Amino acid sequence: MSIQSSPGATTTVAGALARSENVILGFASFVIGILFWYAVTRAGLVKLPGPFQVVSRSADMMANGQIFTDILSSLRRVFIGFVLGAGAAVPVGFLMGWYKRARGLIEPWIQFLRVIPPLAVIPLAIVTLGIDEAPKIFVIFLASFLSSVIATYQGVISVDRTYINAARVLGASDGVIFARVVVPASIPFVLVGFRIGLGSAWATLVAAELIAAQSGLGFRMQQAQLYYDLPTIFVSLITIGILGLVMDRIVVWTESRLTQWQERV
């Protein structure tokens, strides 16, 4: 008697193999990058600290607890600014995409603000909000909001009109169409906006911590710059990259769970 595997089981196995391959390729890429970094610094082609110097400085910063204080400070600022920015971007993006009049009123302001770099708002933030945590979080909030709102808006206007028309033919009201058709179809765009917003939040962090910060990865880099302390700068850079990558993977994992209906390459 022959045993035939079901299509679902085949798909599961193929997905597991693809994930394993991605992990292996990612690890190989990491190893190659470290070896290239070591070879370049060892040969003296660039005046940068090598991997062993950076690891040694990282161990020192862990031993005195400095790195953990900086991580917690930066994570708190990025998390609060990003959550507030993305949380505000979703309803505004849906409003712009669903109601044409709201789009006409709001979109010019969004486009106007988008061409102003969030870093240019720092002087205004200091004058109006002081030098405590509020201006730092506000700058990160603005960067996250402007990155996420456009993606959400684009998701709404990109919904296939066939789905909306079919729902109307079946007697669905506008509220039902919005909740059961538009929102689910827009989720991939919303989550892509979150990923872009996260990147913008981390990119803005260093400049935000110029505002009278006493701790944080960006603050530590600025202090290290004054003393030409390249290993400390590298530790902070790598830490920001790792934290940003972890948060991005969380969003990707969430997207894969919320959009299982979507065909993927």
What superfamily does domain 49-258 belong to in CATH? MetI-like (1.10.3720.10)
The total number of residues written for the chain in this structure: 265
pLDDT value of position 72? 93
CA dihedral for 222, 223, 228, 233, sign (positive or negative): negative
- pLDDT per residue rounded down to tens, the chain (265 residues): 444 555 555 555 555 666 677 778 878 888 898 899 888 888 877 788 888 999 999 999 999 888 999 999 999 999 999 999 999 999 999 999 888 888 889 889 998 988 888 778 888 888 888 888 888 899 999 999 988 999 999 888 888 888 888 888 888 888 888 888 888 888 888 998 999 999 889 888 888 887 777 888 988 988 888 888 899 999 999 999 899 889 888 888 887 777 765 555 5
Angle at 82 between CA 76 and CA 88, to 5 degrees: 135
pLDDT value of position 178? 85
